Homo-oligomer: A and B are copies of this chain.
Amino acid sequence: MTGDRSGAPAPPPGGTGNGPAVSRQEFDALFDRVRTWGRWTPADRGAWNRVTPEHVRRATALVRSGTAVPLGRAWNTTPGPDNSRPALHYMSDLGDLEPPEPATHKDFIAVDYHGKAVSHLDALSHAAYRGQLYDGRAARECIDAGGARFGAVSALGPLVTKGVLLDLPAVLGCDWLEPGRAVHAEDLVSAERALGVTIGEGDAVLLRSGSVRRRREVGVWDPGTASAGCHVDAVPLLAERGIALLGGDGDSDVRPSPVDGVHSPVHALALVAMGVPLLDNLDLEALSVAAAETGRYAFLLVVAPLDIPGGTGSPVDPVAVL
């Protein structure tokens, strides 16, 4: 990413490398380093325990313009390379089933929301590493066909905290990060400096790669094959800062994974080691515009998952209030 004294053309700011490669041993050391097991009660609220009422008050005090920006993508019922399990939407009453007056119109929705198409929250039960969920719980004992008995989304409740938008294309002066471009700790630090924000304890970090804009302008691709996202070397910084939530317009992991034998290493570190829920597949385009206009990259963020007992997450449409 740095300049080049040799005179050779600089790589494009949106970059493409997903490296450096990380061995399984290095990854496991990293996992142990950022682990927060045993720290909180209730354990399955994980890092959301960091968000104290004092933190909520300070987050609401960030509001200046009073603009509320939704961060969720539209419900997508059309299959595609990034939507292998399309959501369903059927009308269950067109005003012709129940007697009027009034006539009522109703609908049925269904979704297998994990994946790359639906804006959703990953609860701590979504991932296990070496057979263990967050806090060292045995996945096999906690999860069955009825759902998760530990780490369910119902254990999280709503999150009201300070959100920080790290708008990387804005910082790097490009339209979007190319799929496969890793985001490193130094990118996060540069972004903080350039955007005038500081990631602090209990904050929600939202990473914009510009993937939604790229999809609209270039066309759809399979983000499971290539997507911009965090390299694991960015995670210790996030751990030190004590974040409560990590999210973005991808699923936080750079793909292909740079870690040998671990397809979603940031998921493993955030959800399993650190107890940090993830917010996947947001649409941060409107927020990017609003933040640029106001010059404010820190704001009040509200995430309100559905209260699904046993659920491993929830579709959500988070709200940023600037």
Contact = CB atoms under 8 A, between A and B. Distances in A.
A118 to B, nearest CB: 9
List the number of copies, as a whole number: 4
Contacts of A256: none
Given A94-B144, A106-B126, A128-B105, A63 B60 contact: yes
B104 A114 contact: yes
A263 interface: yes
Interface string A106-150: 111111111000000000011111110000000100011111100
B74 A53 contact: no
Contacts of A64: 57
Contacts of A113: 107, 109
Contacts of A305: 317
B86 A102 contact: no
Nearest to A68: B160
Contact of A262 (B102, B107, B147): B102
Interface in A59-90: 60-61, 63-68, 70, 72-75, 78-80, 83-86, 88-90
B319 A158 contact: yes
B70 A52 contact: no
Interface stretch (A167-175, A236-244, A308-316): A308-316
Give the interface size class of chain A.
35 or more
Contacts of A99: 263
Nearest to A110: B110
A72 B154 CA distance: 11
A100 to B, nearest CB: 8
Max chain B C-beta neighbours (<10 A), residue from A66, A110, A143, A147: A66
Contacts of A109: 110-111, 113, 306, 308, 311, 315
Interface stretch (A10-18, A39-47, A264-272): A264-272
